[in-house]
Structure 1
């Protein structure tokens, strides 16, 4: 699928989700007519299509180059739309929705038979979230349909947190892009499977495990292990290499100087991503140093992580070295994305 021209709309932050600008109305019409539109959320930019239209959903997979067994998250503009997708809403799911919606939390629940199998990759469950972003909810309401929306990037690439990232990856491959400014949290939503007896965190994100445990109780929350190559992923970001720059990415725990020396000996052009506090230590030793932010502000590091990975990629270094972080709180989401991007290296 290719488009002669990808429409670009600029939308200021709306005062309220019911406020519709001409751009939102036009973009909503595009989705209702089966086209694909990228739009901002409080996590990253999403690539939206009518979740009830198989042909529209196919366009999302084609534009991204996304494997067909990787399910999509369905975005809703109001709680009432949830009942159109779920055959049953478990009590734990309702509790989490009451606590964190709208927000960066995706809940997996049993699906109704009317939900497209292309959206759910043939699974008996559907992943749903209500974004905490006025532009996103206004677009969904203008479209008049639930909107299936993975991140608006080429599959495997760092997710987009700016409209310009979307344009770089998908220009000519999608119908339109809504520029609503920078995304907020900067990493994808937390995904929680609510189809069993306990809540299972399949992907960490903007809502931390600690926050979920505070609502459901520690004994009622589990964390999923790694999905094998033969398993069908139940949520995005579980199986395939994701969030990755083109250059090899290596995660370095505490031997950065030794790794830099080894890569330099191999004649490689080296880029390093590290906290601000280590800039004076590592910058003189490498070709590119990108400060990620202060070690005391992991939320800020999360918000700009994908942008910094893209900056490193644009520099055309031979290898990118990145410091690691504690896996508590927001650090769990940061390390999840970095480990996926590095493919375990």
Structure 2
């Protein structure tokens, strides 16, 4: 299979490409497309075979549900039952945007799409290409991130092509995404809204809309990279994700001691003939005299850290580093989301100094 790349990065959107991609979806094929978070790998959410193709192309565990992308709130009502009032409140506040709601499903969305669960995860992306594709195709689109399962999520079309070329029919290239981390996932099937995956929309933002909100104990990380030990409710959070090829370790603590520890570990590794990568911020990058130093962003603009995380991990793959040392990023608004992704990429490997 030859994967066609269609450039839809310019305004106005090339609707010929949108129509061509829509026909692929309607015929049961797969199309990768940009959202505001990461690139998604899309298929018709109501088509069992299309969902099976998504799992196969990614090498994704079949019990890890796919998120259904919609363009109108009425579509959420069409595929769920016992929809709580909080769904409309959250949709009015955050849709289109990086919020996924888990609701009780009806028979419209097959179990092949929901990973065998009686719930369905749904969001409305805030990206004109994604919305145009949903509307033009007439499909609700099941779409996990468009990468090989376990690899860093794709924030550029080139990342998608690297992982999925020859496995899917087409890629809609909309340029680099805005946010760079997957959506916040909230469970609406319990009495209290529960965050199953942290993201751009944080707990404080949710509480302003619905009142009481709690975090799934299985995903609460402290600055040492440990959790309560509880099993995450969301199946996808149980797997190692976002991992670069190099062995990643996170160093946490006060800035001076973190920098000193990373420099020490780097010197020791270089003596052993290892190639070392270092994830630093603009504030600290010049304090690392050795190793391949990449700047992820700056601490005064935490969105820059989130935006660049996956691209940085993939760039280290291109540099063929053996080891990667990263500073910890306990930032005020997105710190939980950033560290959630970074710790999963490191397989929870941390050093406290």
Q: TM-score range by the shorter chain?
A: over 0.9
Question: Which position in structure 1 is the counterpart of 2:244?
Answer: 245
Are 1:273 and 2:279 an aligned pair?
Answer: yes
Return the offset for 1:145. 1.3
* C-alpha distance in structure 2 between counterparts of 1:260 and 1:318, whole Å: 16
* C-alpha distance in structure 1 between counterparts of 2:238 and 2:291, whole Å: 33
Residue of structure 1 aligned with 2:215, choices 217, 223, 230: 223
Question: Which position in structure 2 is the counterpart of 1:296?
Answer: 300
Aligned 8 A contact 1:69 1:232 in 2: no
Deviation per residue, 1:62-115 (Å, 9 max, x gap): 000000010110000111211221112211122111110000000001100231
Aligned 8 A contact 1:70 1:233 in 2: no
Return the offset for 1:12. 3.1
* C-alpha distance in structure 1 between counterparts of 2:121 and 2:142, whole Å: 10
Aligned 8 A contact 1:13 1:134 in 2: no
Return the offset for 1:234. 5.0
Return the offset for 1:20. 6.6
Return the offset for 1:209. 1.2
Question: Which position in structure 2 is the counterpart of 1:9?
Answer: 6
Question: Which position in structure 2 is the counterpart of 1:202?
Answer: 196
* C-alpha distance in structure 2 between counterparts of 1:273 and 1:7, whole Å: 34
Matches within 5 A, 1:1-345: 3=1, 5-14=2-11, 21-217=15-211, 220-226=212-218, 235=234, 237-254=236-253, 255-266=258-269, 267=272, 268-282=274-288, 284=289, 286-326=290-330, 328-345=332-349
Return the offset for 1:299. 0.5
Return the offset for 1:319. 0.5
Aligned 8 A contact 1:50 1:147 in 2: yes
Aligned 8 A contact 2:217 2:232 in 1: no
Q: TM-score, normalised by structure 1?
A: 0.92
* C-alpha distance in structure 2 between counterparts of 1:337 and 1:140, whole Å: 28
Return the offset for 1:327. 5.1
* C-alpha distance in structure 2 between counterparts of 1:25 and 1:182, whole Å: 22
Structure 1 range deviating more: 187-196 or 304-313: 304-313
Aligned 8 A contact 1:260 1:270 in 2: no
Aligned 8 A contact 1:189 1:205 in 2: yes
Question: Which position in structure 1 is the counterpart of 2:224?
Answer: none
Return the offset for 1:256. 3.6
Deviation per residue, 1:268-325 (Å, 9 max, x gap): 221100111101111x1x2200011111000011111111111112111110111111
* C-alpha distance in structure 1 between counterparts of 2:295 and 2:76, whole Å: 41
Q: Secondary structure at the residue paired with 1:277?
A: coil
Deviation per residue, 1:28-57 (Å, 9 max, x gap): 110011000000000000000001111111
Aligned 8 A contact 1:208 1:329 in 2: yes
Q: Which runs of 5+ in 1 are unaligned?
A: none
* Aligned pairs, number: 333
Return the offset for 1:263. 4.7
Q: TM-score, normalised by structure 2?
A: 0.90
Q: Secondary structure at the residue paired with 1:226?
A: helix
Return the offset for 1:245. 0.5
Return the offset for 1:195. 0.4
Distance change in 2, residues 1:96/1:256 (3 Å): same
Q: Secondary structure at the residue paired with 1:195?
A: coil
Aligned 8 A contact 2:103 2:187 in 1: yes
Aligned 8 A contact 1:71 1:233 in 2: no
Q: Which runs of 5+ in 2 are unaligned?
A: 220-226
* C-alpha distance in structure 2 between counterparts of 1:155 and 1:110, whole Å: 26
